[in-house]
């Protein structure tokens, strides 16, 4: 007959393996590297339209390109240290102008007949762009400290599309913009892209229709990533 009395409970204790610190560090490194790869992929996807538009304009079928203005290769970024100021003397950061195409004219405050023609051409070119005109801002860089004539100032500041008037000493501006051989800095219109890079110089006494065609091509090439307004 079986003895019904309870038997003592015995437990077997097994050793628990110590955590492998090397494996944990390796897993952490893999997670960090994976996160960096994902960030690089996101950055590449965001930058792809910008890169593609520049490749299309500069690289694809370069012999077929019929641009009227002279391309600046490579484009020249607006120097961050350039002493840029508003008419009242307030300092202006070049980066504050990013986000729009800039059609730039240059000249002293005592704007003569040729200067007035360039300002008129600048205004007409922007209007000729039709619904794309809101992607382009007009900029006049004044190269001396003289005051603008009241009538001229009223004209360039008039709505609906005033000219952004800024002052830069001529010698500082000449370290960025460059005229064609045999011409002065103020003889041209200059085109700056939304990233603040000088991209194109229009000929002196430019043909408005040919300049407009250049602008149309550039605006179409950048349509996938550039939007009106900053």
**Residue 136, beta-bridge partner list:** 101
CA distance 155 to 23: 72
Q: In what order do the strands lie in the sheet with 70-77?
A: 70-77, 197-201, 189-192, 101-107, 136-142, 164-167, 85-86
Identify whether the C-beta of residue 164 lies closer than 8 Å to the C-beta of residue 90: no
* pTM strictly above 0.85: no
Strands (E), 93-149: 101-107, 136-142
Identify whether the C-beta of residue 98 lies closer than 8 Å to the C-beta of residue 198: no
* Per-residue CA distances from 109 to 7, 102, 228 (Å): 109, 20, 29
pLDDT tens, position by position, for the chain (230 residues)? 555 555 555 555 555 555 555 666 776 677 776 677 676 667 656 655 556 555 555 555 444 558 999 999 999 999 888 999 999 999 999 889 999 999 999 999 999 999 999 999 999 999 999 999 999 999 999 999 999 999 999 999 887 889 999 999 999 999 999 999 999 999 999 999 999 999 999 999 999 999 999 999 999 999 888 878 76
The CA angle 209-115-220, to the nearest 5 degrees, is 30
Identify whether the C-beta of residue 132 lies closer than 8 Å to the C-beta of residue 219: yes
């Amino acid at each position: 007959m079986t003895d019904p009395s309870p038997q003592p409970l015995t437990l077997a204790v097994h050793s628990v393996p110590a955590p492998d610190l090397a494996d944990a560090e390796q897993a952490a490194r893999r997670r960090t590297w994976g996160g960096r790869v994902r960030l690089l992929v996101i950055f590449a996807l965001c930058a792809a339209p910008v890169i593609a538009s520049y490749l299309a304009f500069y690289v694809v079928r370069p012999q077929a390109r019929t641009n009227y203005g002279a391309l600046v290769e490579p484009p020249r970024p607006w120097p961050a240290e350039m002493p840029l100021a508003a008419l009242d003397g307030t300092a202006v950061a070049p980066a504050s102008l990013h986000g729009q195409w800039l059609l730039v004219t240059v000249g002293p405050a005592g704007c003569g007949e040729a200067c007035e023609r360039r300002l008129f051409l600048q205004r007409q070119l922007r209007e000729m762009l039709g619904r794309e005109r809101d992607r382009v801002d007009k900029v006049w860089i004044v190269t001396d400290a003289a005051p603008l004539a009241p009538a001229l100032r009223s004209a360039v500041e008039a709505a609906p599309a005033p000219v952004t008037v800024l002052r830069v000493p001529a010698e500082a501006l000449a370290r960025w913009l460059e005229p064609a051989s045999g011409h002065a800095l103020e003889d041209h219109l200059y085109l700056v892209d939304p990233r603040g890079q000088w991209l194109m110089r229009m000929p002196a006494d430019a043909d408005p229709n040919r300049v407009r065609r250049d602008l149309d091509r550039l605006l179409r090439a950048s349509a996938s990533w550039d939007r009106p307004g900053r």
